[in-house]
Structure 1
């Protein structure tokens, strides 16, 4: 279904007796329709000039069934004032038509947006209502974002709405749908298998290929995004359009989730929504309740400090580098952090910081042959370390493209677009933790979680930036206790929470928590989102100690 705005033309027929007045009306309408002038003052002026004809005395003819004939004087009034009223009504009609044209012209000069929606067969991937389509920024030459939306398996009319964003930068969220937390996964023979731990067990979820050029999204290379401001603006307008098209979801709690480089995306998008709501921007107030960042790069200035220890002193006892190399990595931390600090104010320093820091702090680990996304395993399929070839084949099948209504303008699907990736070189070392405190102070909840076997965006660095975050409850968060997180009576991780903010360490999981710990990731999501429903009495939000049922009737308790 394609949503389009339409307008009805206002027409009037001019009789010979009103031709002169109609001509005058058109002349005034033309003057009022100047592109830099609003027609409304003229409309109001003309409205106040309309003279009401004098009242006509009522003639009562009792006991007579004949129709009353107006007095000759009254007939004259009808003729004179009728023409006057007719001409002025025509004048107002002309002005109103002009106003509509002016409004239409104004909106055409501004950036406008359009959304396409197609129903996806419910026997494809999952037996729930699903939609796919594109969001086009009409003010651009070519930007088109692809999305795939699934209703909740539970209570779609009341469950939260979540958007999921894969990082990279430049990697497809559809990969996460089919490999991590979506309703189905792809088998080696390209058949689909139902995922019992899909996040749609708890929420209505939309996976979005963004920014432009990623996955099935497409557009001119000249319009590829390179900053988080562009990412935030595009996604804000996407969501405005989506909630207008699907008003039934407008009042439900809304969350922004993502992983990896989405540590940049998520705070940028959530904060853009937050400020848009504050300023009353857009026709829809998006019911933002929280955000979640999984193994995300949010504060490089803090996080890069922890690469040496994750390589040599991780919780799994893996010595990925020798002791001399570890010491060399430690020595590189200070100059690296200095360069990242310079990047915050000097764009030219950003590329140098990325080049030096990755060479000094990431490359030594990569040279070990271990998986940068999981210290427990080898990198079997460089450079991604994982074999996603079956997903790629599935998403290139003609039958898949037809079912998902993929545009023929889209390039062949690939897990990551390295051209998009390169475009964010000056964005990579930017800090985005500063966008978080204003949201926390307003009661927007934040969850930072991290699989503790990941190297590339490791849990040590993720926890560190949450501990350094400057907000009103900073001291309380520093003093808070890390509590055991239990799922089905087993230790699944540790969590620290104060008010609306929490850090969660997930045991036995690498960079992609839903891939390695699907049941536990669903439990995590349920606890985080269910706390909103359990705290309707104005008390402080907490999800420590709350319980959430997983699909197979297992019980998760955060303690």
Structure 2
């Protein structure tokens, strides 16, 4: 047989000697957290997983650039859902293979910290089922211990303004932890104090006995149920309220579950978290991505821990906590720091009516002035699109976010980013005189 022509031989050599390009890394360098891994919590002889992203475009000097801690709800849902689906710098793509930049990331103006809490949540494996907390006091102590471990990682962190934020069941974690921090601070050396400047709660479950009584009204006055269904739902709500007042906590939690289940059945909605959606939030790719060995290694997570969006074990451990209130802690915060409450207008689970039901009864000297304050139309900067409505007085700001359900940053990223940045930095509609973006709704 004749030898191959020289040109063909050259092509064959090139094919053999030129290496194939490496596949794209799971985590490109620009998507890696600034710091991540585990924060010791000495009271429990355990640790909580964290991921921290430094501010990318801060408006303040590094020493005064705010830090914000995000806590997810559940109970037992991982803050990495917030990271990779709602407000972090990169989102998991629908194919669960790659990451894409989030143009409305919350770490643009300040450092953003995610912690998987309580123990047993996300990558924060509990040493044993008995170590999973069952109440807000233990959770708050664990978060403060983890926060102390985080602040010790960099000497500059301690003096930076610190803010607590979270959504849904974090409507309990945030007030409980914030009040605990402010209670403990005076007992600590100055070098160990946390510079807490405010808390933000999105679509929060905070005072359940008042909130569970609002579902029938919310659904009826939006046309989702009729008068007969409203009466049926009110009977179920009354049962949940009575059990809560009797402090029969597990039974009360079950009764609330029946209210929500019946409401779901009556309305036929894909999810109570957003009345406008035809499908529930599509969060499954986050789990597929985070359970890849490469993703765990990049984040510094334990390789043998299976990441779950929400832990059934934590949910079971916290079952008796569901109907307990943290309104006293919220009242304590209003007397000592700034508070932002925000809700997506389409949420039927823990939405606007639900929040206003408990807010109207808080024991705070500034409440009459707040209730009498204007509720102003709020528009995004630049394009002037309707972002929602803002009402504020003294330490309290309340924002209703248009075009959003339970997961506000996932539904209306632009409005959510402007809201949190302006509130933290006291600018725009949250500035001392209101500022750009507000129009009177009177």
Q: 1:336 aligns with which of 240, 244, 261?
A: 240
What's the offset of the Cα at 1:332? Answer: 3.5
Query: 1:292/1:198 Cα in 2 relative to 1: closer, same or farther (>3 Å)?
Result: same
Checking the alignment, whether the CA contact within 8 Å between 1:133 and 1:148 is kept in structure 2 is yes
Partner of 1:159: 65
Query: 1:163/1:501 Cα in 2 relative to 1: closer, same or farther (>3 Å)?
Result: same
Query: 1:531/1:213 Cα in 2 relative to 1: closer, same or farther (>3 Å)?
Result: same
Partner of 2:275: 375
1:276 is the counterpart of 2:184: yes
Distance 2:101 2:47 in 1: 29
Distance 1:130 1:502 in 2: 31
- 1:374 partner SS: coil
TM-score for both structures, normalised by structure 1: 0.69
Checking the alignment, whether the CA contact within 8 Å between 1:240 and 1:282 is kept in structure 2 is no
Partner of 1:545: 434
What's the offset of the Cα at 1:121? Answer: 11
Partner of 2:323: 429
Partner of 1:467: 360
Checking the alignment, whether the CA contact within 8 Å between 1:121 and 1:130 is kept in structure 2 is no
- 1:521 partner SS: helix
Partner of 2:251: 352
Select the structure of larger CA radius of gyration. Answer: 1
Partner of 1:397: 292
1:420 is the counterpart of 2:314: yes
Checking the alignment, whether the CA contact within 8 Å between 2:38 and 2:47 is kept in structure 1 is yes
Partner of 1:253: 161
Distance 1:170 1:472 in 2: 34
TM-score for both structures, normalised by structure 2: 0.87
- 2:365 partner SS: coil
Distance 1:281 1:335 in 2: 48
Map 1:425-464 onto structure 2 (within 5 A): 425-442=319-336, 444-464=337-357
Partner of 1:180: 86
Distance 1:418 1:558 in 2: 45
Distance 2:26 2:272 in 1: 38
Distance 2:375 2:86 in 1: 27
Gaps of at least 5 residues in structure 2 are 1-24
- 1:375 partner SS: coil
Checking the alignment, whether the CA contact within 8 Å between 2:233 and 2:263 is kept in structure 1 is no
Checking the alignment, whether the CA contact within 8 Å between 2:40 and 2:145 is kept in structure 1 is no
What's the offset of the Cα at 1:296? Answer: 0.4
What's the offset of the Cα at 1:157? Answer: 4.1
Distance 1:300 1:456 in 2: 11
- 1:226 partner SS: coil
Checking the alignment, whether the CA contact within 8 Å between 2:377 and 2:438 is kept in structure 1 is no
Q: 2:230 aligns with which of 313, 323, 326?
A: 326
- 2:277 partner SS: strand
1:363 is the counterpart of 2:261: yes
Q: 1:130 aligns with which of 22, 27, 34?
A: 34
What's the offset of the Cα at 1:544? Answer: 5.6
Partner of 2:7: none
RMSD, aligned α-carbons: 2.2
Partner of 1:40: none
Query: 1:249/1:140 Cα in 2 relative to 1: closer, same or farther (>3 Å)?
Result: closer
Q: Deviations over 1:454-513 (max 9, x none)?
A: 111121011222222110112212222211112132222112111011211111100000
Distance 1:224 1:558 in 2: 47
Q: Deviations over 1:187-215 (max 9, x none)?
A: 12321111111000121001111111111
Distance 2:363 2:29 in 1: 46
Query: 1:330/1:392 Cα in 2 relative to 1: closer, same or farther (>3 Å)?
Result: same
Partner of 1:216: 123
Distance 2:187 2:246 in 1: 32
